[in-house]
Amino acid sequence: MSASTHNIKLKLAPLALLAVAASWGFAFLVMKDAIERQSVNSFLFSRFALAVVVMVGLKPSILKRLDRDLIYKGGIAGFFLGSGYIFQTMGLARTGIAVTGFITGLYVITAPLLAAVFLKEKITKFTWFCVGLATFGLALLSLNGWSIGAGEFFVLLSAFCFGAHIVSLSQWSNGRDAYAMTVVQLAACALLSGIFSFAEGFQTPPDFGVWSVIIFTAIICTALAFIVQTWSQAHIAATKVAVILTMEVVFAAFFAILLYGERLTFKIALGGAIVVAAMFLLVVKEKK
């Protein structure tokens, strides 16, 4: 790879991740009604299974690229991702949405911690400053109260799982086919969520409204988003990825205000500005 091509990818990767964060922020809103009419695990299974079917249907030749190494490492990454969604769901059933959003966003801390421990990745003081800044911004965006219980514990486990997923992709996505890696990850997610959904009694999508949300989240927010994330993480450090993806909460607040008429308070505006500042500082610092 030439130096110019590498530089272009370094510039495009943060923007691509920002687009992923935007799609997830929007998905958080459109899923709200759907998961009230279909159980969460059944919804997750439908979403991940459809994403796999669509990806393989569009490119069936990808199955020939699934060697043992890719299946093993993609499967581990997918296990972390699927576990994150399941623990997050278990926590959401026991605690509030705002607290769930904040604790989930703590992958901005768990990712660099895991990278430092398992990958021996050196985390600079400036990077930790940006991580702390993003965490403070997330708290302003999400928290209106605090309590510790089983729900919060499950969501904290999800933050570690999402952090592990980010770290594993940073370690293993480079040099591997992003499309094939994504198929394996999503198949692992479908398997995990399928086990839980069929154990509790699988519920089919009840109407066109739920089906439309499943189709949108499966194609845009799952298949396309994780292809982009897998590709981007071949070019970006795990800590930087975690900070950029915290923009999901900012986009969720933005779309809620724009499309649902929710009130923009000073606290929300300040929290969003702080998260954006943390991301901008980290991206600019790395370029320099």
251 is a domain residue:
yes
159 is a domain residue:
yes
Domain around 193: 14-287
Question: For residue 67, what are its two tokens?
Answer: 């060697």
Q: Walk along the chain (288 residues) and give the pLDDT tens digit of each residue.
A: 566 666 677 678 889 999 999 998 888 778 878 888 898 899 999 999 999 999 999 999 999 999 999 999 999 999 999 999 888 878 877 776 666 777 788 888 899 889 888 888 888 888 899 899 988 988 887 666 655 677 778 888 999 999 999 999 988 988 889 999 999 999 999 999 999 999 999 999 999 999 999 999 999 999 999 999 999 888 888 888 888 998 887 888 888 788 877 777 888 789 888 988 988 887 777 555
1 is a domain residue:
no
Q: What's the total number of domains in the chain?
A: 1
Give how far Cα 191 sits from Cα of 37, 45, 82, 178, Å.
Answer: 22, 8, 9, 20
5 is a domain residue:
no
141 is a domain residue:
yes
Taking the C-alpha atoms of residue 159 and residue 165, their distance in angstroms, rounded to an integer, is 10
Taking the C-alpha atoms of residue 198 and residue 42, their distance in angstroms, rounded to an integer, is 8
3 is a domain residue:
no
Which contacts of 193-199 are long-range, i.e. CB under 8 A and separated by 24 or more positions?
193/41, 193/44, 193/45, 193/48, 193/82, 193/85, 193/86, 194/45, 194/49, 196/41, 196/45, 196/86, 197/39, 197/41, 197/42, 197/44, 197/45, 198/45
Give how far Cα 104 sits from Cα of 50, 67, 84, 218, Å.
Answer: 25, 33, 9, 21
